[in-house]
Amino acid sequence: MTLPRNSSLSLLCHLAMATSNPSERTPLLNGAVTESSTSERLVSLPTVGDGPSWSDSFGFLFFGSYLNILLVFVPLSYISHILYWDAALRFSFSFLAIIPLAQVWITRLIGLSCFLHTCS
């Protein structure tokens, strides 16, 4: 038995096929919605092997070197830029902020290379 083209059954089949195709609004996790905050997701991140914890990493970032005391100039340079302080003062704050940022960047690159087993 063949159904006419305008039958409601063929329309239902067409709609069922159209909704089964993924679109921009289709949930990626089969409709499972998790209501966790960003901090809960960050805390639940797995650690690799016996790696340091988050508190150990941040402690090393701020107290790993005497140069890291100069990290206080990072927000000061931003504030001085937003409040249009004197150009010499803005330059001084920015210059002093770059020194520990470069040192932290080099430290992180060395840690990443050791994590990827390419350090000597």
* Residue 20, domain member (yes or no): no
- Express each pLDDT in 43-66 by its tens digit: 666 556 677 777 887 787 778 888
* Residue 24, domain member (yes or no): no
Integer Cα distance of 97 and 93 in angstroms = 6
Domains held by the chain: number: 1
Integer Cα distance of 13 and 20 in angstroms = 11
User: Residue 88: is its pLDDT beyond 80?
Assistant: yes
* Residue 109, domain member (yes or no): yes
- Express each pLDDT in 5-31 by its tens digit: 545 445 545 555 555 666 777 666 665
* Residue 85, domain member (yes or no): yes
- Structural domain boundaries enclosing 78: 68-120
